[in-house]
Amino acid sequence: MGAWTVAAVGLGGNLGDVAATLHEAMHALDALPGTRLARASRLYRTPAWGNTAQPDFVNAAALLETQLDVRDLLDALLDVERRFGRDRELGERWGPRTLDLDLLLYGDAVIDEPGLRVPHPHLHERAFALLPLAEIAAERRVPGLGRVRDLLDSVDASGCVPLAGAG
């Protein structure tokens, strides 16, 4: 295992008991080898993005401290998704899903490789990712784009609301 890196992960879903799924997924992230859950946001109800003809999503963000390299972390996130019933091969792009785990940031890395882009290429456009991330890492810099807090100020987050009693 390598040095510790702080990674930001976006969590979401809109099928089944999503709040329970996201809480269980956070436990699964905390249990990854050489990884610990450092902070987690509240849960937010958010409108669907991309394909809007589907139920609202529940989204959250997590900061992980990890010794996994970026590819191993991505593979672990995809494995957690599969354990919760997500099949990226069969699923519709931006369609309904039980669990979506997006690697938003990995330290200060900028990576553009097949199957791996960090920072997440749509992070700066998505209130559903920025709002929970700003709750736990407002001052964090997104390489090439600026602080999370400033990016959040540039999008419309009015449709994103915290879930009562969730977090």
Give the domain range for residue 55.
Answer: 5-162
Q: What is the CATH number of the domain that holds 18?
A: 3.30.70.560
Number of independent structural domains in the chain: 1
| Residue in this structure with the two tokens 């920072």, named with its chain if needed | 119
Question: Percent of the chain beyond pLDDT 90?
Answer: 81
Task: Tell whether 81 is covered by a domain.
Answer: yes
Asked whether the beta carbons of 138 and 148 are under 8 A apart, the reply is yes
> Is 167 a member of any domain?
no
The per-residue pLDDT for range 105-118, each reduced to its tens digit, is: 999 999 999 999 99
161: which strand partners?
45
Examine residue 138 and state whether it is found in any structural domain, yes or no. yes
Q: What rounded mean pLDDT belongs to the chain?
A: 91
Q: What is the pTM of this model?
A: 0.93
From the CB of residue 29, how many other CB atoms can be counted at a distance below 10 Å? 23
Tens digits of per-residue pLDDT, 74-96?
A: 999 999 999 988 766 665 555 67
Any idea which residues carry the catalytic annotation?
Answer: 86, 97, 100, 102
Q: How confident is the model at residue 136 (pLDDT cuts 50, 70, 90)?
A: very high
